[in-house]
Structure 1
Amino acid sequence: MLERFKRRARGAGQAAVGESAFPGPQSFAPYVLVYSYDATAVTVRRYDTLGEGDPELAPGKVNWVRVVGVHDEAFVRAVGKRFGLHPLLMDDVLARGHRPVLEEYDSGIFVLLRLLGYDEAHKRVLAEQVCLVASDGYALTFQEREANLWDALAAKLEKGGGRLTKRGREHLTHALIAAVLDEYILTLGRLAEDIEELEQAVLSGVDGDTLTETYRLKREVLFLHRSLWPLREVLGRYLADESNTADPGAAFLWNDIRQDVYQVLDAVETLREMLSEMVGLSMTKAELRMNAVGQYLTLVATIFLPLNFLVGFFGMNFDNLPLKSEEWGIYGLMGFMALTIIGMTLYFYRKHWIANTKVE
């Protein structure tokens, strides 16, 4: 939620951590792919430039208009103008770092999502903003990168589409959103593996800055929570408004999406609880180590306390001190001091104070 304000503080054009999909500017020229299909055939058309009335929609078919690349504002706004999209809606498409949004219009709905991924090398969550406009007969999508997880659905359509070609636009919308949610589950699975590995390291007492790593992973999970929680809110509100008027088939698809969102959010909450417990465990282990060090130093100081007394007593400037005039006095005193050390050590050992003092 604060990323937009942080970006403004740093200056326009700089992306916040976790806000952009993958580092580096997009170097390809944006283009539009139109997948038109029905139960008999699938056609694919590509538009590198837009003329009057482009991109064209095939009448009587379901059309998926896929805008690949949003870094050319003029090109993206031309697509929006072709489909009569509001300028404020296009501002949301072009700007990055928005909360997930689901808005209903007279002719359809607008969905803004974060497509999440996981960088195994740097162990961080990556995000790409994707947008979907679903209206009568078509679904219009916007994506930042040239390749993302919707490529699998596009490849399936190019090969014939399977059962998807026998269904309407609602099923295409469901398939596009479901693909994003499936990627959430994969991302959470990879993140959970790293968290469980760190948890084992904390429990086994492996040396290293596990507390810093725990806080870093906790921040990644918090970013996931910020990316998903608004979607739960808007989905719940949308389904509540449409419960009495929506088509039963479409309502079933949206309920399926909502259940997937709830499942993902439950997994995020579980990871948050695990990391919170790991932070508490790390702090407790640090306190136990400090207590062990303090106990060890206390035992050492206690053993040397009578030795300091003996040295101070026999170091006084009096001639009539015991053993001072004897030749063997120094050896007797040293022997008595050694017996004192051995005796106190044995006493502490029998009390299990020394045995229980372990400093890692």
Structure 2
Amino acid sequence: MGKQEDFEKKKGLPPGSLVYVGDEEASFTKVSLIDYKGEALEEKSVDTIQEALSYAETDSVTWINIEGLHNKDVFKGVRDDFGVHPLLIEDILNTEHRPKINVLDNYVLMILKMVWYDREEIDINEEQISIIVKDQTIITFQEKEGDVLDPVRQSIRQNLGNIRNTSAGYLVYSILDAIVDQYLVESERISSDIEEIEEEMVLHPDQTVLQKIYNYKNVGMYLRKQVWPVKEIITGLEKSKIIDLNTGFYLKDVSDHVIHVMDMVEMTRSMATNLLDVYFSSVSNKMNEVMKVLTIVSTIFIPLTFIAGIYGMNFEYMPELNDRWAYPIVWGVMIAMTLGMIIFFKTKRWF
């Protein structure tokens, strides 16, 4: 279903209606749970959102992950049992939403994009991830299965670092860090591919290469559009109550990574623009070479055509017409003129 049809479904409905906007990727909803505190860890799949939300009443850190955004009962539970405003639920269900943060009195909503670079198609595949943080509970919403958060899950399962001895704020940092690190990885892959195409473009500046350059430029613009708001999200988190002083230092590191990604994205866009300039210069130089050859050939044949034109006139009384050696003499003159012009062009380094 296209975007226009998606938005048509919301037309006339009251604000906060549970209407999914996005690709019809998943017809299921899967709710998984990770609950931990110190050495204690529980991980499982649950049948209902109410069962998962029951863990929110404890003092442990609870991470509820919801895959698939088509089950209205799940979102009714988040809205009614977890106390999330209906308009924010509507934002979660709109997977075309711009990345943003909403900081309220007792919870925070963040909307970001996870991205993957498709090298074959020269395109960005993205998936929206929404994050609600309330006290020691975090709920993440995804359109479909698969994400970039497995390193975070592994850290929790294997008790790596200090993650199981920290608050929900540190888990928020870990999730953001994983998403931003993915931005960095994909940006480096894009930059590497642009460098590789430069040699191909200089040697074979055809329409295929031109289309690739335009695709890289569009990829850079799209990535910038998704990465730039993350800086705003981090700033909003630092001002919220869910981030303590220690976690704030870690967030500054994520902020530095975002700046690094932005620098790489800007460099990618600049490289693509420069490649366009080089492409058009290469095409222009190639055209100039062709025109130079054609001009030299034309220049050589102009005097020959002049001589042939004179002796092609049908006058009865013309000099040399009755001369026995006139024909070879004319040929000799034309050959000498041709060789003379070629030697002259060579001395001038015109070819």
Q: TM-score, normalised by structure 1?
A: 0.86
Deviation at 1:350, TM superposition (A): 1.3
Q: Any conservation in 2 of the 1:117–1:187 contact (CA below 8 Å)? A: yes
Q: What is the CA-CA distance between 1:323 and the residue it aligns to?
A: 1.5
Partner of residue 74, structure 1: 73
**C-alpha distance in 2 between matches for 1:242 and 1:156:** 25
2: distance between equivalents of 1:10 and 1:35?
33
Query: How far apart, CA to CA, are the structure 1 residues paired with 2:52 and 2:126?
Result: 33
Q: Which moved more, 1:302-311 or 1:31-40?
A: 31-40
Q: Which residue of 2 aligns with 1:276?
A: 273
1:122-201 matches, within 5 Å, as 122-160=121-159, 162-201=161-200
Query: 1:345 corresponds to which residue?
Result: 342
> For residues 50-109 of structure 1, what are the alpha-carbon distances to aligned partners after superposition, in whole Å with 9 as ceiling and x for unaligned?
457844325121111111221323323323332111111111111111111012110132
CA distance in 2, matches of 1:136, 1:32: 20
Give 1:290 shift.
1.6
1:118, 1:126 within 8 Å by CA — same for their partners in 2?
Answer: yes
- Alignment correspondent of 1:303: 300
Query: Which deviates more, 322-331 or 110-119?
Result: 322-331
User: Relative to structure 2, which stretch is displaced further, 273-282 or 121-130?
Assistant: 121-130
Task: Report the equivalent of 1:119.
Answer: 118
Runs of 4+ in 1 over 6 A off after TM superposition: none
Go from structure 1 to structure 2 and tell me whether the alpha carbon gap of 1:165 and 1:223 turns closer, same or farther (over 3 Å shift). Answer: same
Q: Which amino acid aligns with 1:116?
A: V
Specify every segment of 5 or more residues in structure 1 that has no aligned partner in the other structure, as ranges: 1-5, 14-18, 355-360
Aligned residues: 339
- The answer on whether the counterparts of 1:132 and 1:139 sit within 8 Å (CA) in structure 2 is yes
Which ranges in structure 2 are unaligned for 5 or more consecutive residues?
A: 10-20
Displacement, 1:128? 0.3
1:254 aligns with 2:263: no
Supply the distance in 1 between the matched residues of 2:235 and 2:327 (Cα, whole angstroms).
Answer: 88
Which residue identity does 2:3 align to in structure 1?
Answer: R
Deviation readout 1:110-161 (Å, 9 max, x if unpaired) = 1100001122332321100001111211111111122212233223323345
Secondary structure, in 3 states, of the residue corresponding to 1:33? strand
Q: Is the 8 A contact 1:101 1:230 kept in 2?
A: yes
| Distance (whole Å) between structure 2 residues aligned to residue 64 and residue 155 of structure 1 | 13
What residue in structure 1 maps to residue 220 of structure 2? 221
* 1:8 has 2:7 as partner: no
Matching residue of 1:26: 26
Deviation at residue 329 of structure 1 after TM alignment? 1.3
Q: CA RMSD in A?
A: 2.6
2:17 matched residue in structure 1? none
TM-score by length of 2: 0.88
Evaluate the alpha carbon distance shift between residue 51 and residue 140 of structure 1 in structure 2; reply closer, same or farther with a 3 A threshold.
closer
Q: Secondary structure at the match of 2:69?
A: coil
Per the TM alignment, residue 237 of structure 1 is displaced from its structure 2 partner at its CA by 5.9
CA–CA distance in structure 2, aligned partners of residues 34 and 246 of structure 1: 22
In 2 relative to 1, CA 12–290 (structure 1 residues): closer, same or farther, beyond 3 Å? farther
